[in-house]
Structure 1
């Protein structure tokens, strides 16, 4: 582990431990489930990052996404939680913002994972489209995990069909912004 990665791991350890403890004390089984998923990915990245080489910026982005997610499901706002806070009436809830940010970050992770295998004369339009699809695939897996939560945990804060559809739309928005940004900053 590099000196740049140590504070990132400390940050993740602190926020995840805090929110895990809070979820346990509140008997919030849905978020205990989500904490375990985030913990799995943190461990996977810690173990594999020497080989895969995600940049510190991307690691911070993933860390921020994890924190935003933990805050969204546990911090009370009015009669609900932060995830349900309407940021822009009708258009944008905190939940959709986190989806756009998270799967935009995931799209950049996809690029960093593929980078060692890419040719220098590649077609950036095609690559951007493929990276967007990687972000969307990860977003679809997230929705499957949310569905599993609704099946195994009696009461969850996972919304219905409209919520899932909005999540997928905002996954697309985040992945597209990241794909276009990658093309703009890396195409020669």
Structure 2
């Protein structure tokens, strides 16, 4: 299949940073993030293998690529004696331990699931037609994004079982991830329909 220049650029960019981070994680024996790189490779193989049928916009492909990069940076860049994922960006709430808002980890979840929701919105509108009720399509996209988030948490649970010194976190971390997934998805869906509605008037 012949890809557009913007689609090729997103793929090349993703291939470059996954190669660099693969080498880094191999040198540092970071099995956890090598597994995540495997997930990124599988996701992009699926996206590009079906691009002719799905016609996913290049902006969404780039958004997903940036998500992968943010994840790799989060697991490798040192901040205050720990990794970037633990960086407390804005002191909105401190419930002790992992129960803290707002961290880099939560920012990544908001951004990632905003992009995932936009991906599902595109697929639903592409296959069901753009005249379907926005509330219905938006709700399905929201639930689909939450489903992807649940699968991600299952993968993290497998990491907890298989990798002794992992950085997945505990109960509060898992539930906060789900909450910020929801926030990112619903903001993206609401923003899409606000913009799309205004654009059609």
State TM-score, norm by structure 1: 0.95
Q: 1:114 aligns with which of 124, 131, 136?
A: 124
| Alignment match, 1:85 | 87
Q: Which runs of 4+ in 1 moved over 6 A?
A: none
Q: Give the structure 2 partner of residue 6 of structure 1.
A: 8
Any idea what SS the aligned residue of 1:4 has? Answer: helix
CA distance in 1: counterparts of 2:129 and 2:53, whole angstroms: 20
What is the rounded CA distance, in whole Å, between the counterparts of 1:34 and 1:74 in structure 2?
A: 13
Greater relative CO, 1 or 2 (CA 8 Å, sep 6+): 1
- Cα contact 1:20–1:35 (8 A) shared by 2: yes
Q: Is the 8 A contact 1:85 1:94 kept in 2?
A: yes
**Which of residues 45, 48, 52 in structure 2 aligns to 1:46?**
48
In the TM superposition, residue 111 of structure 1 has moved relative to its aligned partner by: 1.1
Match of 1:37 among 39, 60, 69: 39
Gaps of 5+ in 2: 94-100
Give the C-alpha shift of residue 116 in structure 1. Answer: 2.1
Of the structure 1 ranges 165-174 and 36-45, higher mean CA displacement relative to structure 2 is found in: 36-45
Aligned to 1:75: 77
Could you tell me which residue of structure 1 aligns to residue 67 of structure 2? 65
Deviations 1:125-183 (A, max 9, x none): 22212211111111111111111111111111001000001100100100010111122
Aligned CA RMSD, in angstroms, stands at 1.3
Contact 1:128–1:182 (CA<8 Å) still a contact in 2? Answer: no
Q: Does 1:26 align with 2:28?
A: yes
Between 98-107 and 176-185, report the one with greater CA deviation.
176-185
Which ranges in structure 1 are unaligned for 5 or more consecutive residues?
Answer: none
SS in 1 for 2:89: strand
Looking at structure 2, the residues matched to 42 and 120 of structure 1 have their Cα atoms a distance apart, in angstroms, of 26
TM-score by length of 2: 0.89
**More divergent stretch after superposition (164-173 vs 129-138):** 129-138
